[in-house]
Amino acid sequence: MPAASLLIAVINAVSGDTSILALLIYLSTLAIFLCTIKKLFKMDGIIKVPKYRWLRIILCICGAGPIILALMLAGEIRYNPVSHLGNLSYSKAFVKMNERLAAEYLNDSKT
């Protein structure tokens, strides 16, 4: 499974999704792949306790933090640009926001 995840990450990166949060997830995917590649080529029927078990647990917890942070902030950073509409009335702010979203939609549908 990590190999398939790495393949998907490479395809996404090549297709142009190179935001900072996406790159963070891609690097985490690469780290998981590199940690499991040894087991891909050396299949043992015996499940052994890892040599540095506590170090691996700490690394996994530290690796989960950036992934969770990236997933929490991805929509906010990518799809929520800052709008300065606080000084407008509700109806004027609504019209401005509608114009901006229509322009963004047209730009996204052309690409």
The whole-number pLDDT of residue 109 equals: 63
Sign of the four-CA dihedral 12, 13, 15, 21: positive
Phi, psi of 49 (to 5 degrees): -75, 130
Q: What is the pLDDT of residues 89-107, one digit of tens each?
A: 999 999 998 988 888 777 7
Q: Is the pTM of this model over 0.75?
A: no
CB 46 within 8 A of CB 19: no
Q: What is the pLDDT of residues 35-84, one digit of tens each?
A: 777 776 776 666 666 677 788 778 777 777 777 777 777 666 656 566 77
The whole-number pLDDT of residue 95 equals: 93
